[in-house]
Structure 1
Amino acid sequence: MRTSYTTLAIDCIAVEDEYGNTPAQRAELDWLLYNKPLEYAQMVLGGRMERYLSLGCDHGRLED
């Protein structure tokens, strides 16, 4: 069985510089990065981070 993997690196400082306009947004980005890294990556790659943060910082929306 052959398995293929892809490694991806996201410049999180650049993401914070782009989207972290307030302390609350920066805190939300940090929370996402450390607690929901897959969702963080999906939002960055899918261009949905700005929309997510515009809805108000409430990481509880992503809780399991």
Structure 2
Amino acid sequence: MNKLLSCRYNMDTNRVEARFEDGTAVAIDCTAIEDEYGNTSTQRAELDWLLYNKSLEYAQLVLGGKIGHYLSLGCDHGRLEEQ
């Protein structure tokens, strides 16, 4: 996968728009991610927090297939601050 350069949450479309080093872009449908992985109110709150505060990390977790594992660890967005 190409290096992820930037992300931006678009509130109007409820998508995270990600741009890569090679100039390609992808839009992540946040409603679909929430429907798939937000099984509890705590998980949904964590997904929202990531969207608004750490959209780059959100995109990395989703695109890397690690969002489910991240949420299974107990929804503590402070963990991202420690890395």
Identity of aligned residues (%): 74
Q: Determine the structure 1 residue equivalent to 2:74.
A: 56
Total equivalences in the alignment: 62
Give runs of aligned pairs for residues 6-17 of structure 1, distance below 5 A. Answer: 6-17=24-35
Structure with greater strand percent:
2
**Greater relative contact order (Cα < 8 A, sep 6+):** 1
Structure 1 regions of 5+ residues with no counterpart?
A: none
- Which of the two has higher C-alpha Rg? 1
Q: Determine the structure 1 residue equivalent to 2:50.
A: 32
TM-score (norm. length: structure 1): 0.89
Q: Determine the structure 2 residue equivalent to 1:45.
A: 63
One-letter amino acid of the counterpart of residue 51, structure 2? L
Moved over 4 A (4+): none
Structure with greater helix percent:
1
Q: Deviation per CA, 1:30-61, whole angstroms, max 9, x where unpaired?
A: 00011000110010001000000000010000
Root-mean-square deviation (CA, aligned residues, Å) is 1.5
